Every structure is written in structure tokens, then in C-alpha cells.
Amino acid sequence: MRSFVHGAAVWDVARPRRPSRMAGVTMAGFHAPGLDALRMVPHPAVTLLLVFGDGSPVLDDAGGRRHRDSLVAGPGLGSGGAVRASGENVACVQVRLSPVIARAVLGVSPAELDGATVPLEDLWGREAARVRERLGEAVSWQQRFDLADTLLARRYGAGPPVDPEVAGAWHRVVAARGRVRVDSLAAGAGWSRKRLWSRFRTQLGPTPKRAARLVRFDHAVHRLVAGEGAARVAADAGYADQSHLHRDVVAFAGVTPAAVAGEPFLAVDDIAWPGGFPASAGTPARPPAGRTARG
């Protein structure tokens, strides 16, 4: 357990002692005495928030809806800076799922979320309440991580895998940090551009083009948070110029590159998610025993 202090934000942050049994899954635990309109910055993973305890977390989404319990959101949660979290005595396990394994774990494709934030109960029914109860009864963060990991592995083992061509295209997007063309992805899959676009969108949620933009944005903003200058980041990340970086950051985060560097939701990543995005959402999934991976 480590403390994260960033301006007025003071949180306790826990990390698992060992990796998930499935690649494509990372977790962190958070306890925040108070959240005051925390801006959710988009990330190229499916976000699963498993809330527990007696706190009162609130998430206001882009559609004006207010959520007060465990939830799930597709890649790009918070686009435009329109999603905010608040509350007192907030405790949760946050899971980042690679889109490649999310369909199996959730029971629905991320595409069916259609960019919305969905209460976990809508997808898992009564199991969502049982998960909250068991996490609250656990006596340590590691026990909570183990409970969540067992649940995710069980659901993944019973769910439908994505097409290997789609999984391969996603991994190429991540490996290239978003600097890849859709025509190249289609050629690598041995498919037409139209077929890749359709299968990718249906099974993972975003289109290949938007996925590449989101991965590139994620790489760029974390470099900005690390203190690198916008001009250098723009050049190294493959933006045509600094103004294109500016437009992408504003489109995804709702603030300028200078302002996004100070966002707590990004700054905590170095503590909560060591190793960065490729380890959490870009690695091919290792299936539980007895199952052959197609992703």
C-alpha cells in the first residue's frame, strides 16, 4: 500500500503482489477519503470498477447519468473530459481488461456498451452484488485481488474468444503505439479493409482507426505527465505537428496538453500500473487450464 499525493488528491493505492493468471488483466486498489470531481481520462482498455465498503462513490457519465455502484465502460471512458468521479470514503478494485479478452469476461462485446458506462449489475445480475459483498468481507487487498482474479479467469474460460485475426490486429496497434494504418492491419490479417473494420468494431468496440488514435493518445499523454515537452512528444508519437497533438488531447481529455500533465487520474498510473499500457491491455491472453486461446 502506498499513498498518492497530487495537489489536493490524497489516496491509498494498492497493487497485487503477483500478476494476474491471465495476460491482458491488471488491477489496482484505491481508497480515497474524498474525491472531488475527478476527471476520468480515456485509456485503451475496458474499465471495470468493483466497488465495496460503506463509501459513496458517484460517477457522472457523458450522457448525464449518475452511477453509484460497480460499473463497466469500454475503451475511451471519459472522452471529451465529460466523465467525473466524486464521493467520500471511496474503496474499489479497478480492473483494466484488454479488449481482446473483455468480451469473454463481460459476457457481451465492448461494442454493445456503445461508449456508455453501464452498471455491472446490468451485465452480471445478482453476481455483481455478491462480488461487492465478498470484496467487503476480505481482510486484505491481496485477498481482494485474488478474489477478482479467480472471478475473471472463470468468466473468461466460459466466454467466447475473439477471432485470432482481430486479436492480432489489436496487438499490432499496441506494439506500434498507434502508428499503424488500417490497410496494413488488414493485409496482416489477410482480410479486406472492410472485413477487418467490421469484425474489429463488432468484437472489440472501437474501429481500428479510433483504436490507433486512442493508443497513440495514451502513449503521448503519459509522456507529457512524465515531464516531456509537447513538441518532442508530438514528433516522437507520430503527430504531424504539435497542433495535431493539441487537438487529439483536447478531443480525448477535454483539456490542453499543458493541463493534462497535471491530471491526477494520469499521474497515479506510475504507482498503480507499473509497466504501462502494453502490459495491461496489449499482451495476448493466457487461457486458464483446459482452454485453447484464440486471442
Stretch among 175-189, 216-230, 279-293 having the lowest mean pLDDT: 279-293
Instruction: Please indicate whether residue 65 or residue 229 has the higher confidence score (pLDDT).
Output: 229
Residue ranges of the chain that CATH labels 1.10.10.60 = 164-280
Alpha helices in the chain (DSSP H): 99-106, 120-124, 126-137, 141-158, 164-175, 182-189, 193-204, 208-225, 230-236, 242-253, 257-260, 264-267, 269-272, 277-281
Cα–Cα distance for residue pair 182/101, rounded to 1 Å: 21
CATH 2.60.120.10: which residues of the chain? 2-161
Indicate the CATH number for domain 2-161.
Answer: 2.60.120.10
In this predicted structure, the answer to whether residue 290 has a pLDDT above a threshold of 80 is no
The DSSP result for 169-235, as a single string, is HHHHHHHTTT---HHHHHHHHTS-HHHHHHHHHHHHSS-HHHHHHHHHHHHHHHHHHTT--HHHHHH
- Establish how many alpha carbons lie within 13 A of residue 130's alpha carbon, considering only the half-sphere containing its beta carbon: 6
The predicted structure's pLDDT at residue 238: 93
Task: Output the pLDDT for position 154.
Answer: 94
pLDDT, tens digit, for every residue of 66-86?
988 899 999 988 899 889 999
Contact (CB, 8 A) for 174 and 151 = no
As a whole number of angstroms, the distance between CA 257 and CA 229 comes to: 9
pLDDT tens, position by position, 108-154: 889 988 667 899 999 999 999 999 999 999 999 999 999 999 999 99
Tell me the HSE value of 200 on the side-chain side, using a 13 A CA sphere: 27
- C-alpha distances (whole Å) from 149 to each of 87, 241, 283 are 26, 42, 17
Reference 82, options 41, 120, 43; nearest CA is: 41
Q: Does residue 265 carry a pLDDT above 50?
A: yes
- Name which of 230, 270, 267, 269 is nearest 250 in CA terms: 230
Q: What pLDDT is recorded for position 114?
A: 67
CA dist., res. 244 & res. 123, Å (int): 38
Query: Which band of pLDDT confidence, cut at 50, 70 and 90, is reported for residue 275?
Result: low
pTM summary value:
0.89
Q: Is the pLDDT of residue 23 over 90?
A: no
What architecture does CATH give domain 164-280? Orthogonal Bundle (1.10)
CA dihedral sign of residues 157, 96, 94, 21:
positive
Q: Hey, what's the cell of 81? A: 473530459
Phi-psi region of 178 (alpha: psi -120 to 50; beta: other; left: phi over 0): left
* Per-residue model confidence as pLDDT tens digits over 26-51: 999 999 998 888 899 999 999 999 99
Average model confidence (pLDDT) across the chain: 89
